[in-house]
Amino acid sequence: MSEAREWRPAATLDFLRLRAELLTRIRRYFNSAGVLEVDTPALSMGGATDPAIQSFITTYHGPGSCHGAGFYLHTSPEFPMKRLLAAGTGSIYQICKVFRDGESGRYHNPEYTLLEWYRTGCDHVALMAEVESLLRAVLVDIMPLAPARYWTYRELFKTTAGIDPATSTVNEIRQVLNARGISASPGLTEDMFDGWLDLLLTHVIEPALDTGLVFVSDYPASQAALARLRSGDPPVAERFEVYLGGIELANGYHELTDASEQRRRFEQDNARRCARGLATVEPDRRLLAAMQSGLPDCAGVALGIDRLLMIAGGAAHIDEVIAFPLEHA
Domains within the chain, CATH numbers bracketed: 13-43+75-148+212-328 (3.30.930.10)
Residue of 142, 112, 99, 15 whose CA lies nearest to 306: 112
Residue of 98, 121, 78 whose CA lies nearest to 291: 78
pLDDT, residue 61, reads 86
d(C-alpha 199, C-alpha 308), whole Å? 23
**SS3 annotation, 34-62:** CCEECCCCCEECCCCCCCCCCCCEEEECC
pLDDT, residue 3, reads 62
Q: Alpha carbon of 230 to those of 128, 150, 213, 312: distances in Å?
A: 17, 18, 25, 35
d(C-alpha 166, C-alpha 96), whole Å? 36
Instruction: Work out whether strand 213-220 and strand 236-244 pair parallel, antiparallel, or are unpaired.
Output: antiparallel
What are 113's strand-pairing partners?
97
d(C-alpha 204, C-alpha 235), whole Å? 25
Each of the 329 residues of the chain gets a pLDDT tens digit; together they read 556 678 999 999 999 999 999 999 999 999 999 999 999 999 999 899 999 999 999 988 888 765 667 899 999 999 999 999 999 999 999 999 999 998 899 999 999 999 999 999 999 999 999 999 999 999 999 998 999 999 999 999 999 999 999 999 999 999 999 999 998 888 888 888 999 999 999 999 999 887 899 999 999 999 999 999 999 999 999 999 999 999 999 999 999 999 999 999 999 999 999 998 999 998 999 999 999 999 999 999 999 999 999 999 999 999 999 999 999 89
DSSP state at residue 255: B
Q: Alpha carbon of 132 to those of 18, 76, 135, 154, 241: distances in Å?
A: 20, 21, 5, 22, 12
Q: Is 157 left (phi over 0), alpha (psi -120 to 50) or beta?
A: alpha
pLDDT, residue 67, reads 65
Contact 197, 160 (CB under 8 A): no
d(C-alpha 84, C-alpha 93), whole Å? 11
- Rounded to two decimals, what is the model's pTM? 0.94
Residue of 257, 259, 261, 227 whose CA lies nearest to 241: 227
pLDDT, residue 103, reads 87
Contact 100, 110 (CB under 8 A): yes
pLDDT, residue 70, reads 85
Helix (H, G, I), strand (E, B) or coil at 192: coil
Helix (H, G, I), strand (E, B) or coil at 125: helix
Q: Is 16 left (phi over 0), alpha (psi -120 to 50) or beta?
A: alpha
Instruction: Work out whether strand 69-73 and strand 43-44 pair parallel, antiparallel, or are unpaired.
Output: antiparallel
With vertex at residue 293, the alpha carbon angle to CA 290 and CA 295, rounded to the nearest 5 degrees, is 65
Helix (H, G, I), strand (E, B) or coil at 132: helix
